[in-house]
Structure 1
């Protein structure tokens, strides 16, 4: 093996190692597998000739040999042999020991994702794994499967039918149930109407009642955890719109959880029941199909650009692809649209993460104890940098204080955030203040508040201007309180096209606190024939020492096409 210029000797050595794999002595076989793992980097083709023998070692009774052989098979997989090797591994998965299923499942999922030649093959193999060992599949694996299904629009009907059949035989596999429930909620009508039938399929007769049965089984199964039941409730809400004839039955299932001891399920039950009872006119809009999930973005985030999602105390991840409620820190990130179904900012390194993301000065203000400042960095940065709509916080240790106005009003509307379009965030902030819990959706028209008129002593400032949009700030001060500045932001459309779903968001460094009132409208007329106004209240805790700086994010639609503009505003008057 060490004579590099003689390829024939290397092949001979690898063939000898291959014969070692047939030896009855476990030590000899283990040594051979170890050497072959080193040899594969030198001559992969020669090692490939012993693939069948290596696969037999994966089924060995000795756990150490099984594990080492599995690692070697993983290295042998390429685009040309991925299908036969995956078939062999999945066949063995059906009869493998419980202790080995976890490692085997992880390797199969990684192989399928990495070398999949086509989406239909990827979906088929993943469904086989979920049906056989779904309880061993990690959350990010079934999340990735949902992303792929979302992007395969021509396979939606095929996938939901395959999941329906798999559920009938493998309803005890938690990950399979979650993917099936999500797909049935999204594409249940395709299942009933046999939409998108492929030549390889057999037709299946399914009624709307049969489909509701599946979700009801999932939600009532004794082993279903919070994540599964939460996804099932959302699927039922969506099916209530897809299948009007089952609406009353679905309502009964949802109402059953009004007395649940789990607050999350109780809250969803109350809110969803309110939607079915009182909001028939907007229900179809609320529960329309999820937009296609961005596969490239999800893959990048899985690669490690963001930390793992926050989980509940029970261990069930609430970072659900069907729009379930997320923990408070994740909600704050969502308000800036920095994360999409993905991970919350970490508490230990939140400062660095947000500093890189927003590009603003997060250097801490002088304190008596530098150590304490570092330890509280994650909480403080989320508290001050993302305090959009939050009133000035009295205690940095309270997680409820760092929530948006939706949460500060103690209204359990977070679950509905995921169902409503993002353009209604401002409306929610206003309606939540006046509406009781059962009427969260009654008020969609915010009444703009007027700034306090204390006499402006600062000239208007053009804070941002592009070819399509101009933002002007007018400033006023509260008498006797120089730290507080009232900013009236005026948005002017410079194009001949109307802007819809207009949303203005802002973030500030930690020495500032920011409160945003609802905007006067979310429609910006064309060619300067009208404007949108929005009040901001900025509290500068370093007044006289540091100037105000702000990072802004403006999103809107032009002819239903999403547009995003970002800017950092550094030219505030120094004595604000």
Structure 2
């Protein structure tokens, strides 16, 4: 069987095929001919066959039978054979192939070849396919070639050294000395490869990074030369001299200046020069500016330099390129906690990005908008977010409703504004409101008696106009059932102004649903906009019962809504009796008929409620006590966790949902949940934080533990049981009673973490001696940064380095460093602090820790003056294929750290 004469003939034959079957036939015949030809020892035919075989491989057909023939070509003395043989090895082999062991000797021989291009072929092949074993065998050869006088070989040897370090980190010491000499090279290619090698070494080992800090001045000199050089045709890209080398230098400076004030001071001037003189009209310049910004924000830079970096990101926001805008928003999200005021200057531009056509830009702008909300701009930001909520994609709405409500709870100028804001949210996106937000709103109304009439009126009008929003329906039904007497009697607004009563003719029979295009007259009173709405309508008891009937018969009503309505209707009958309204008896009979109609409902929960409430009508002496107004639930900060984009109100709970049922108990009350003193990071996503999942925490506000009221219901008992189950994750002993929890709450010194009313299982360890001292920042003044061991088990070591902020009293920056003697994967580090302190965490640099490598994670703790930082750490990771979960308390920082 004879194949095609050469590669050109094969390509021509394949291109002439009209169908895929024809192509397969040609390939199969040619492959068979190549196999037959391999049995002959013809060097020229072997070269020709390997060329054809590589083309067949690139088309996606099997070509593994040519691996050994490639090795024979490599052994040939002819350069053309070596070149094709090495190309075949790179394409047909990888580091997991056993045949690779046969290549080691050929590579070693060619690394010592007299022809520099043959050496280059061997180095290029090694850098692409070398395994751990091959890296150990040829490390000395690569180290020797790093000192070659030939720039072509030095450049390739540096990249081979990079491959060796990634495969076998413990061989890093072999290349430290030679890498220093590479930083002095004048050849741009060698310098680029050398800086890439040094960057990898510094990122992998902190001690190596400290060793290379003395080269900061040399790197600054290189960068200054590149910035000041005029047109250089050899290295010019878009009018900028060697932007690739500039970017590499900036990345290495970022590592050298991190946590070192002296090195940072040395590079401040050149960073300002690069940021000022780089042309931003082209993407080449933007890439350099972006790396400059990242470097400035990472090192110990001057305050003015940081502001300039954030201003550069602000200019990126007005760029027409979507990629640049996305990068700017993403970076601002990371640095907004470092200098919020500087980011605030670009607030209007950020808000404009909410209208961008690119959904990814809208998402990043939205996340950044949440971080910018504070007491001074809460009204403006909320107005913009509410405007965006009206037109936002459905996938945004759950997160938006949560964040707007939390911001209103935290920064609201007054309670009436907060109520108006949440009402607006319920009307715009009531189907995307979390149960915790709904519960918080009900608690707020219960604790604000001066606004109960106002709120009930607004909810009545809103529900009469729109029955399609689940959360609006639930909130309205619950509050109308609870405060119907206030609504019927009338009242005053919080500023003392008497409410102007207006009788409006409104027959509920003429009410239509929103999709039918008609609205209720009450909609004319602008109840959908946050702000004063003093003109209200007069409501009778029959109007309330009509509304309940309408909700029950609505096509939007689900099981949860019907449960709420039956409870509210039963409470209405009690309120009518208390007020002795003219039609009280008639309306109570109507309610009894409604309850009776559901006494045989196919849904067990609804049937049970209807029967139980119906039986109360035969016991007037019991009815008044059972259906009296609920005592206001204990108010506390809302706790939120990761905002699930697919968790509507009333959905089936999962283990990651809230601990306690917040709404919908049989009594119609609004119980609440909280965690005691737990603050967790607000990362996103991250957002994969286990503490956030367990406690549902989404902010840095401390929240207090729930205290069960006297005469608590079985539902409350089950909630306490759930609390005990969750507490068992953090403590070896759960609380035995509410009484035993009380002293723990009262004494912060006795119990660091009274999680859900529980006590910590063991006192925190005593302060430990520092194990690492970083160099002093210079003659003058800053105290040395000391590292304290926090955890050391199973080959994983965690050290914490605190740094007190000189400009922000009580703020302590903590750098956690993770090292491992063996490979550790999937590290998840969570921290909790006492309720008197607040904690923010950034994402870990990498969840996988290689042997000898160092990964980091930044934390920021706000501590009262004189208080000691106490941390409860939860560490989960995988080591040797086994999952490890551990917990440890830490109080090893000096007691005078925050004085």
TM-score range, shorter chain: 0.5 to 0.7
CA–CA distance in structure 2, aligned partners of residues 28 and 321 of structure 1: 44
Structure-2 residue corresponding to 1:207: 540
Specify the SS of the correspondent of 2:721: coil
Q: Is the 8 A contact 1:319 1:342 kept in 2?
A: no
Structure-2 residue corresponding to 1:272: 613
Q: Please state how far the C-alpha of 1:129 moved relative to its aligned partner.
A: 0.3
Structure-2 residue corresponding to 1:358: 736
Q: Does 2:422 match 1:126? A: yes
Q: Please state how far the C-alpha of 1:248 moved relative to its aligned partner.
A: 0.9
Q: Does 2:487 match 1:191? A: yes
Structure-2 residue corresponding to 1:423: none
Structure-2 residue corresponding to 1:281: 621
Structure-2 residue corresponding to 1:262: 603
CA–CA distance in structure 2, aligned partners of residues 41 and 32 of structure 1: 15
Which TM-score applies when normalising by structure 2? 0.36
CA–CA distance in structure 2, aligned partners of residues 150 and 212 of structure 1: 22
Q: Deviations over 1:527-569 (max 9, x none)?
A: xxxxxxxxxxxxxxxxxxxxxxxxxxxxxxxxxxxxxxxxxxx
Identify the match of residue 666 of structure 2 among 291, 307, 324: 324
Identify the match of residue 144 of structure 1 among 440, 448, 453: 440
CA–CA distance in structure 2, aligned partners of residues 108 and 91 of structure 1: 12
Q: CA RMSD in A?
A: 3.4
Q: Does 2:721 match 1:345? A: yes
CA–CA distance in structure 1, aligned partners of residues 546 and 603 of structure 2: 23
Identify the match of residue 68 of structure 1 among 340, 344, 364: 364
CA–CA distance in structure 2, aligned partners of residues 23 and 179 of structure 1: 44
Using CA pairs under 8 Å that are at least 6 residues apart, name the structure with larger relative contact order, 1 or 2: 1
State how 1:379-398 maps to structure 2 within 5 Å: none
Q: Is the 8 A contact 1:102 1:136 kept in 2?
A: yes
Q: Is the 8 A contact 1:182 1:322 kept in 2?
A: no
Which TM-score applies when normalising by structure 1? 0.55
Structure-1 residue corresponding to 2:332: 36
CA–CA distance in structure 1, aligned partners of residues 433 and 719 of structure 2: 19
Distance change (3 Å), C-alpha of 1:204 and 1:351 = closer
Distance change (3 Å), C-alpha of 1:349 and 1:284 = closer
Structure-2 residue corresponding to 1:104: 400
Identify the match of residue 176 of structure 1 among 472, 486, 491: 472
Q: Deviations over 1:128-162 (max 9, x none)?
A: 00111010001111011111111111111111001
Q: Deviations over 1:314-348 (max 9, x none)?
A: 9999936464179xxx9xx9987697498463499
Q: Please state how far the C-alpha of 1:118 moved relative to its aligned partner.
A: 2.1
State how 1:495-534 maps to structure 2 within 5 Å: none
Max radius of gyration: which structure?
A: 2
Identify the match of residue 252 of structure 1 among 593, 598, 617: 593
CA–CA distance in structure 2, aligned partners of residues 272 and 6 of structure 1: 69
CA–CA distance in structure 2, aligned partners of residues 81 and 314 of structure 1: 35
State how 1:5-44 maps to structure 2 within 5 Å: 5-44=301-340
Specify the SS of the correspondent of 1:203: strand
Distance change (3 Å), C-alpha of 1:72 and 1:355 = same
State how 1:48-87 maps to structure 2 within 5 Å: 48-87=344-383
Q: Please state how far the C-alpha of 1:22 moved relative to its aligned partner.
A: 1.4
CA–CA distance in structure 1, aligned partners of residues 352 and 718 of structure 2: 40
Q: Is the 8 A contact 1:321 1:341 kept in 2?
A: no
State how 1:442-521 maps to structure 2 within 5 Å: none
Q: Deviations over 1:372-427 (max 9, x none)?
A: xxxxxxxxxxxxxxxxxxxxxxxxxxxxxxxxxxxxxxxxxxxxxxxxxxxxxxxx
Distance change (3 Å), C-alpha of 1:104 and 1:61 = farther
Q: Does 2:562 match 1:222? A: no
State how 1:300-315 maps to structure 2 within 5 Å: none
Q: Please state how far the C-alpha of 1:311 moved relative to its aligned partner.
A: 8.3
Q: Is the 8 A contact 1:233 1:268 kept in 2?
A: yes
Distance change (3 Å), C-alpha of 1:68 and 1:265 = same
Structure-1 residue corresponding to 2:565: 232
CA–CA distance in structure 1, aligned partners of residues 735 and 714 of structure 2: 8
Specify the SS of the correspondent of 2:401: helix
Q: Does 2:413 match 1:117? A: yes
Q: Mean alpha-carbon deviation: is it higher for 194-203 or for 130-139?
A: 194-203
Distance change (3 Å), C-alpha of 1:26 and 1:343 = farther
CA–CA distance in structure 1, aligned partners of residues 638 and 306 of structure 2: 39
Specify the SS of the correspondent of 1:78: coil
Q: Please state how far the C-alpha of 1:41 moved relative to its aligned partner.
A: 2.9
Distance change (3 Å), C-alpha of 1:153 and 1:355 = farther
Q: Is the 8 A contact 1:320 1:341 kept in 2?
A: no
Structure-1 residue corresponding to 2:257: none
CA–CA distance in structure 2, aligned partners of residues 320 and 208 of structure 1: 29
Distance change (3 Å), C-alpha of 1:30 and 1:342 = farther
Gaps in structure 2 of 5+ consecutive residues: 1-292, 498-531, 577-583, 673-707, 739-899
Q: Please state how far the C-alpha of 1:108 moved relative to its aligned partner.
A: 1.5
Q: Is the 8 A contact 1:156 1:196 kept in 2?
A: no
Q: Is the 8 A contact 1:237 1:250 kept in 2?
A: yes
CA–CA distance in structure 2, aligned partners of residues 275 and 108 of structure 1: 41
Structure-1 residue corresponding to 2:635: 295
Distance change (3 Å), C-alpha of 1:23 and 1:350 = closer
CA–CA distance in structure 2, aligned partners of residues 8 and 302 of structure 1: 36
CA–CA distance in structure 2, aligned partners of residues 290 and 180 of structure 1: 16
Q: Is the 8 A contact 1:130 1:176 kept in 2?
A: yes
Identify the match of residue 135 of structure 1 among 408, 414, 431: 431
Q: Please state how far the C-alpha of 1:44 moved relative to its aligned partner.
A: 1.6
Q: Is the 8 A contact 1:143 1:321 kept in 2?
A: yes
Distance change (3 Å), C-alpha of 1:320 and 1:23 = closer
Distance change (3 Å), C-alpha of 1:341 and 1:322 = farther
Q: Deviations over 1:217-269 (max 9, x none)?
A: 22222232222111111111111122224111111111110110001111111
Give aligned pairs, total: 348
Q: Please state how far the C-alpha of 1:35 moved relative to its aligned partner.
A: 2.1
Distance change (3 Å), C-alpha of 1:339 and 1:164 = same
CA–CA distance in structure 1, aligned partners of residues 572 and 485 of structure 2: 8
